[in-house]
Chains A and B, each alone.
Chain A
Amino acid sequence: MEDEKIVELYLERSEEAIKYTSEKYGNKLRHISFRITRDAQTAEECENDTYMEVWKRIPPNEPRNYFFQFLSRIARNISINRCIERNRLKRSAYIVEFTTEMEQCIPSPDDADRRIENEEIGRIISAFLHGLPKEKRLLFMQRYYFLDSISSIAKRFGYSESKVKTTLFRVRNDLRQYLIKEGYTL
């Protein structure tokens, strides 16, 4: 079923919307969640939570032309929050690895004179990424949106792990410099 029709079902408050969403995107959503939670059962729970959340958000949202992106974001956030809620953030070395890398992007308060709110972050990071060469942009997204491991990214793109690490290190620094230059602090 086309995305537009599925969204219409949500707007009509037809529970068939969830059925069609699951049929079309369930596997991908579990995949997204599994990457983050590293647990199949939790990934299934996050998938179900995603459907509930989508049900709540449509309406007022009407993501006819970006339905999967809409689902993907919700699934990702639910999965990351699940890790945090269950204290996996402290137990899971790989999540600590991501957050540590992200810390490197955050300018200190002394470096910037403007504080940005959560809602703006996506827009600012998008502006930064649009200015990058495609290769760097894709590596950043694989690592920090999809939470892929260095080795998985290296294999996926046919790069050495060293190249992936070096490229990401430089992009994180570039992001930090971008935020400083634009006068932001987080």
Chain B
Amino acid sequence: MRGKDLLNNISNVDDDLLAEAEASMIVSKKRHNWRKWIAVAACFFIVASVGTGAWRMGLFDDKGDNHSGNNSDSSSVAHSDEYRVRTDAVNLPENISDNVKADMIGCLVYKGKVYRQAASYDSSDSGFELVKKIVGEYVGDARGTLDDWSSQSDFATEFASTYYGPVYNVKGYSEDFRLYILVENGDKSWIQFLENYDDIGLNTGADFFGERMHLKNNVESISYLTYYDWNEDNPSNYKPLTSVSIEQFGGFLDELYNNPFERIDYKDHPDFYEGKIQGHLYLKMKDGTCVGLRLIEGGYVGYEHLGWIEVKMPGELFDLLLSAVQ
């Protein structure tokens, strides 16, 4: 036997060793993000609310072309040769002052990754009963230990969270992407999704909308908001999408999957997000969840929690959908 034979046969190591090595590849990336967090002030500011805030408030400012966690420290993970874009982690706003109270959104630390508040569903949502059925396996208890005055070390604890209660993975979705917590606050309760968007490498739409969101063959119905209504926060003005056929929308999803992601940062291109023709689609999924897509003139399709990263898919089908949401 030669060295190459030994190299080949290492494939036959036990499953648990391979699983451990794969898990470490995700956790070790987060180690570098933690170093960035330890290097900055205790207060941090995150914004992500469904349908509003994140895009307009410039949350996901890019500090450069590199992925999250990078600063002048050389201990960053170098993967830029493998992916077209990478998502950012949370960055402090540069202009926060002592008089501005830091607002926190929901977050949870799990396996060294920070899962952020994403969509929520309460009993008023039509999909609520369905969403309750996709609770997966229990993974641990959120500690409820984080608040505006939490220190850096508070974040470096597994299950540190702004929430309190049992956390579950979500059936049909990767645990690396989505978790679920039932939040109870007085006489109100709701289902809160927590999602990991930190330092994700993406090439085409399939990497996110397929691998993580599973859009194809799972859309139950579609509604839309015009840009005006979205901007003015008029949720009562959702309208069903009736001018596009199932086949046409299927073709739209095919192109969404096959086309590449691009990063278009707000700070470099503010007119892109404020001056172009655009609209919003809301996909009601068969499992009761809802996915919001932003369409921007020129063939760009974005998802709110990805920040300033869009799939570029110009063409007839995109133009059809954009026209339909005006």
- Shortest distance from the beta carbon of B22 to any chain A beta carbon, whole Å: 8
The closest CB in chain A to the CB of B18 belongs to A69
Cβ contacts under 8 Å, B245 to chain A: none
In the complex with contacts A69-B19, A72-B18, A122-B8 CB distance below 8 A: no
* A119 contacts partner chain B, Cβ-Cβ < 8 Å: yes
Cβ contacts under 8 Å, B10 to chain A: 121-122, 125, 144-145
A73, A152, A158: which has the most chain B beta carbons within 10 Å? A158
Cβ contacts under 8 Å, A69 to chain B: 15, 18-19
In terms of DSSP, what is the predominant structure of the interface of chain A? Answer: helix
Asked if A99 and B18 sit within 8 Å, CB to CB, the answer is: no
Contact of A100 among B3, B12, B75, B210 (CB under 8 A): B3
Cβ contacts under 8 Å, B9 to chain A: 118, 121-122, 125
Count B-side interface residues using an 8 Å CB cutoff. Answer: 43
A-B residue pair count with CB separations less than 8 angstroms: 131
- From 3 to 48 in chain B, residues with beta carbon under 8 angstroms from any chain A beta carbon are 3-15, 17-22, 24-25, 28-29, 31-32, 35
A-binding segment of B76-84, B102-110, B153-161, B260-268: B76-84
Asked if B207 and A27 sit within 8 Å, CB to CB, the answer is: yes
Asked if B21 and A158 sit within 8 Å, CB to CB, the answer is: no
- Shortest distance from the beta carbon of B118 to any chain A beta carbon, whole Å: 20
- Shortest distance from the beta carbon of A82 to any chain B beta carbon, whole Å: 12
Asked if B21 and A138 sit within 8 Å, CB to CB, the answer is: yes
* B172 contacts partner chain A, Cβ-Cβ < 8 Å: yes
- From 228 to 250 in chain B, residues with beta carbon under 8 angstroms from any chain A beta carbon are none
Asked if B6 and A138 sit within 8 Å, CB to CB, the answer is: no
* A105 contacts partner chain B, Cβ-Cβ < 8 Å: yes
In terms of DSSP, what is the predominant structure of the interface of chain B? Answer: helix
30 A-B pairs within 8 Å (CB atoms) are namely A1-B172, A1-B214, A23-B210, A24-B211, A27-B207, A66-B15, A68-B22, A73-B12, A77-B8, A77-B11, A80-B8, A81-B8, A84-B4, A105-B6, A106-B2, A121-B6, A121-B9, A122-B13, A125-B9, A130-B17, A137-B21, A138-B21, A142-B24, A144-B7, A145-B21, A146-B21, A156-B29, A158-B28, A158-B31, A158-B35
**B interface residues, Cβ below 8 angstroms from A:** 1-15, 17-22, 24-25, 28-29, 31-32, 35, 74-78, 82, 171-172, 203, 206-207, 210-211, 214, 216
**A interface residues, Cβ below 8 angstroms from B:** 1-2, 23-24, 26-27, 31, 34, 66, 68-69, 72-73, 76-77, 80-81, 84, 89, 95, 98-103, 105-106, 118-119, 121-123, 125-126, 129-130, 134, 137-138, 141-142, 144-146, 151-152, 155-158, 186
Shortest 8 CB-CB contacts between residues of A and residues of B: A122-B12, A102-B3, A99-B3, A141-B21, A186-B1, A103-B3, A121-B9, A126-B14
